Structures are given as structure tokens and as C-alpha cells.
Amino acid sequence: MKLLWLYAHPEPRSLNGHLRTRGIAAATALGHAVVQSDLYAMGWNPVVSRADHPDGDGRFRAADASHAAFRAGRLPVDVAAEQEKLLGADAVVVQFPLWWYGPPAILKGWFDRVLVKGLGYGTGSRYGAGALAGKRALTVVTAGARESSLAPRGIHGSLDQILWPLLHGTYFYTGMAPLRPLLVGSADRLTEAEAEAAADALADRLRGLGTERPLAFRAEASGDYDERLRLRHDIAPGELGLEAHLGGST
Amino acid sequence: MKLLWLYAHPEPRSLNGHLRTRGIAAATALGHAVVQSDLYAMGWNPVVSRADHPDGDGRFRAADASHAAFRAGRLPVDVAAEQEKLLGADAVVVQFPLWWYGPPAILKGWFDRVLVKGLGYGTGSRYGAGALAGKRALTVVTAGARESSLAPRGIHGSLDQILWPLLHGTYFYTGMAPLRPLLVGSADRLTEAEAEAAADALADRLRGLGTERPLAFRAEASGDYDERLRLRHDIAPGELGLEAHLGGST
């Protein structure tokens, strides 16, 4: 498969840097072709702004401006290059340290700028369908917290709950199949042996990248949601948590 | 009260710009003193990087480097200025459009850079306590989606679920009292009358800013979590959703 490895950490000599090196080596050994976006090394600009659309002069509407530029082939060069990498990939590995329970700003802004209207949304289909359908997304996250606390009923919430905006609101929204994220907890306190075990766990996940079963979110077109886009009464009746949105077919 | 109005939208001539203007006018009329951080207008740099810490030359550890700089009074001038605004405020209003189910990168990076170790975390207390205890946080969010779909059992998740990393993982983590967020849905399709109604709703919330009851997350020190930092078996028994973390005293 062709992989895009999207990576957001400021220090190559870090646990994340080590996992990235080991992960890309493992993916390559498995026969995958890996293209990388190392956002810090690229000096990626994460800020959606009018500067991306020098033609406009009236009120700046980010969605409309990016949609028009996308259709006209006039997006900024850096954005177009990332879209090309993404569209050419069969799977995306998204690797980052958890900062304030989300991706670092430089990575959030990759999604903000790259997934423009016409590609990421506004395509007429979403949540289980869309322009990125057929691609798989594996999230690799390091966190300072212990894994026991990043769990259902854990004080921080489970990683799936914390990353709902990414797993469901971004990957699944755009049609990608979200795989269960890989968590490396206690990241500031790992021994060398534990860091190697984490790299092995990543290699394991890469082995199953093309075959493992994605998170079974319910597709918008599944009929599980009513006309107000709420779960029908007979679907997961009475459940209010995010878990109610699982149970689709994969 | 002293308010910090943290604002992240690229276009002043937008619904967000209108809500900001109306909101600050309402807050001022209520007798509050408002300080503003208009991140786009400031050209805020949202990227945590080694460039913030020119003294270091070895492996860059963002948490340790920012902690040392914070204690030594050697943080970058822009970061120190935002910390001063935050520490001087009794309440923070955080206003943004929902992009990919989270804050725009420029705002995510405000938290990444401003809430350094020693201020935001690593203080010895968190989740209901911490260096920002006593402050209140009101989130004002515009979203393209209809409000009915941004609800429990709504396809996008409820705003409280989507914003868990901000409400619980950032505000509550640092000791701030998270207020119920204000949602302005269907933001791209509002009539003028609807936009005025949204501004009125914001003014209402500002009237209750000092008195309304915050979201009742359970404090880490409440005894509701066990030694693995999971909810004790007798607390919200069997509940796996984020809602299980509500029920604390406020």
C-alpha cells in the first residue's frame, strides 16, 4: 500500500522520533511505500487565513474561498502538495503527542487547511462516504498520562472519546476508515525496553493496517439517523454517550 | 469582573465578528472590564517549538524547557503577555468557529504555548484545582451544522462531548470552572434576525457569567477516582460515557 505518514513533533531525538523511524522502517519492510509529511521539519503553516486567497477582497469566507480555489486549481502550493499526497495514499498514519487532549496546533492546522470544501466537506456525502473513501487512518499517540487513566471511566476519558473530533469528525466524516488508535502512555517515563515494546506494538499495527477492522461508526446513509440527524429511537435506545454511534457495519 | 476575550476568527465582517462586537459591548455595559486577544489580528504564533527557547541546544523537551523558562521569567514576550492577561482575568470568554470539530489551529496553539508546565500543568493539582482556580470559562462556538445534530445522540455528538478536551481537559484541568458552552448553529445560514437573537443569547449568558452554575465535573481530589484514576465502582456504576464524569459538587 501507499502510506502517508503525517508527523507532528518538534524534536527528532524524542520517543516520537524513535517511533516514527521504527514505524517507517517496519512499514517499508512490509512492502509499503511511505511518503512523509513531517510538519515541523516542513515549517508547515497551520493557520487558515485570507493570505491563502489573495484574489478575494470582500468579506473573507474561508469555506467558499477555499472551495473556489480548489476547483480552479489555485490553492496555495503547500496545501495542494499535501492534498496530492493524501489523495495518492491508501492509508494515513497520523502520529503526534497529545497536547491538551488534542493534536498539536501545527497538526490541527493541517486538517484545517488541507481538507477544504469540495474535498473534505461539501461533497454531498460524509460520515462513511466522501472524497477520501477507501483510505484507512491509523492514529499513533503518545501521552504523559498512564494508560489506565486514558480509558473508559478514566479521569481523562478514553482515547477514543478524547479523539472523537479526529476519529469520527475528521476521518469518518471524510470517508476514511478510522482504525483504533495506538496509545503509548507514560511517554515521559518509558525505559528503553518499554520504548522498544511500543515500537514493536506499532509494527504490529502496521502489519494489520490493510486488514484490521475499523471502528464501526454508523454511516450517515445507514438509516440509523433520523431527519434531524439524531439516532433513531430504536437504535441504542436511551444511550447518550458517544458509544451509541458505534454499531455500524464495516 | 475582569474578562479576557479570546477570539479566533479570520474575518471581522463575519457572524463571529458581529457576536464579538455585541458581546464585548454587552459585557462592558454590565460593568465588566474586557481585555481582548484577537489571535488573527495579533498574528499569533500557535506553534510550540524550539525557537521559543533559544538557550537550549540538546534534545528539546517542550514541557521542561517551558517550565524552566516560566520559572526564570524567560518565556517569549508574546507568551508572557498572554499569561499576564489570563492571570489578571476573573473569567475568560473563548470564541471560535468549530473547524473539524475543534478550535482553529491558531486557538489550539494559544493553549499549547500559553499553558506551560508550572502554570497549566505540573503544579501538583489539577481537575478542579490548579493555578487558574477561581476563574470561569465561557465558550462561544459557531457551527455550520444544525443544533439538533449537535446534541446527545446527534450525528456529530453533543457540543459538550466534542469539546471535552477543552471543557474538561483544559479549563477544568487547570482549575477553571467550565460553563456550559453557547452554541450558535446553522451559522452559515442565519438571517439577520437570527444573528441578533444569537447576540442576545450571548448577552444573556454574559449576565450570568459570575453566577451561573458551572458544569459539575468531578474533581480529582473528590475521592470519586481510584488509585488508577478510574471512577470508583460505586460512582455512576456501569456508565462508560463521558457523562459519568459529571456529578461533582460545584
Q: Give residue B248's pLDDT.
A: 78
* pLDDT, position B24: 98
Residue of A nearest to B164 (CA): A162
pLDDT per residue as tens digits for the range B147-159: 999 999 999 999 9
Task: Give the residue-averaged pLDDT of A46-56.
Answer: 88
Domain with CATH 3.40.50.360 in chain A: 2-215
Contact at CB, B109 and A111, closer than 8 angstroms:
no
CATH of A2-215, one of 3.40.50.920, 3.40.50.300, 3.40.50.620, 3.40.50.360: 3.40.50.360
Global ipTM: 0.97
The pLDDT value given to residue B54: 78
Average pLDDT over residues B102-128: 98
The DSSP output letter for A118 is: T
Flag whether pLDDT at A250 surpasses 70.
no
The pLDDT of residue A54 = 78
Give the mean model confidence (pLDDT) for residues B161-181.
98
Average pLDDT of the residues in A118-135: 97
What are residue B165's phi and psi, to 5 degrees?
Answer: -60, -30
Which pLDDT tens digit goes with each residue over B35-89?
A: 999 999 999 999 999 999 877 678 999 999 999 999 999 999 999 999 999 999 9
**Phi, psi at residue B126, to the nearest 5°?**
-160, 175
Give the number of other CB atoms < 10 A from CB of residue B29. Answer: 11
List the 37-56 stretch of A: residues with Cβ below 8 A of B. Answer: 40, 46-50
Q: What is the mean pLDDT of chain B?
A: 96
User: Residue B176's pLDDT is what?
Assistant: 98
Query: Considering only CB atoms, which chain A residues are within 8 Å of B13?
Result: 59-60
pLDDT reading at B249 higher than 80: no
* Three-class DSSP labels, B99-155: ECCECCHHHHHHHHHHCCECCCECCCCCCCCCCCCCCEEEEEEECCCCHHHCCCCEC
Q: Within an 8 Å CB–CB cutoff, is residue A232 touching chain B?
A: no
* pLDDT beyond 90 at A170: yes
Summary count for chain B: helices (H), strands (E): 8, 6
C-beta of residue B246 within 8 angstroms of C-beta of residue B215: yes
Interface of B with A in 115-154 (CB under 8 A): 115, 120, 127, 144-146, 148-149, 151-154
CB B91 within 8 A of CB B211: no
Q: Which of B47, B59, B167 to mutate to test the interface with A (most CBs of A within 10 A)?
A: B47
Number of H helices, E strands in chain A: 8, 6
C-alpha distances (whole Å) from B79 to each of A199, B10, B73, B111 are: 35, 20, 11, 10
Half-sphere exposure of A199 (CA within 13 A, CB side): 20
A59/B14 CB distance under 8 A: yes
Contact criterion met (CB < 8 Å) for B169 and A148? no
Q: Report whether A141 contacts A182 (CB < 8 A).
A: yes
Q: Cα separation of B224 and A154, whole Å?
A: 11
| Inter-residue contact B47 to A105 (CB < 8 Å) | yes
pLDDT at A53 over 90: no
Three-state DSSP state, B246: strand
A223 contacts A127 by C-beta, under 8 angstroms: no
CA distance A132 to A121: 10
Within 10 angstroms of residue A84's Cβ, the number of other Cβ atoms is 11
C-alpha closest to that of B24 among B36, B41, B37, B15 = B36
Q: Would you put residue A100 in left (φ > 0), alpha (ψ -120 to 50) or beta?
A: left
**Over the stretch A91-121, which tens digit does the pLDDT of each residue have?**
999 999 999 999 999 999 999 999 999 999 9
Please tell me the predicted confidence (pLDDT) of residue A248. Answer: 78
Distance between CA A104 and CA A98 in Å, rounded?
7
Amino acid identity of residue A69, one-letter, is A
Q: What is the 3-state secondary structure (H, E, C) of B16-66?
A: HHHHHHHHHHHHHHCCCEEEEEEHHHHCCCCCCCHHHCCCCCCCCCHHHHH
Residue of chain A whose Cα is closest to the Cα of B57: A11
- At A60 the pLDDT is 94
User: Is residue A79 predicted with pLDDT exceeding 80?
Assistant: yes
Q: What is the mean pLDDT of residues A217-245?
A: 96
Say which residue, B188 or A54, is predicted with more confidence: B188
Q: A42: how many CB neighbours lie within 10 A of its CB?
A: 15
Contact (CB<8Å) B10/A240: no
Q: Do the beta carbons of residue A113 and residue A81 sit within 8 Å? A: no
Burial class, A173, CB count within 10 angstroms (exposed 0-12 / middle 13-18 / buried 19+):
buried
Residue B143: partners with Cβ closer than 8 Å, 6 or more residues away: B97, B98, B150, B159, B183, B184, B185, B186, B187
A157 and B242 within 8 Å at the Cβ level: the answer is yes
Q: Tell me the pLDDT of chain A averaged across its residues.
A: 96
A102 touches chain B (CB under 8 A): yes
pLDDT of residue B250: 67
Kindly state the percentage of chain B with pLDDT values over 90: 96
The predicted model gives B207-211 an average pLDDT of 97
Mean pLDDT throughout B170-192?
Answer: 97
Distance CA A3, CA A25 (A): 12
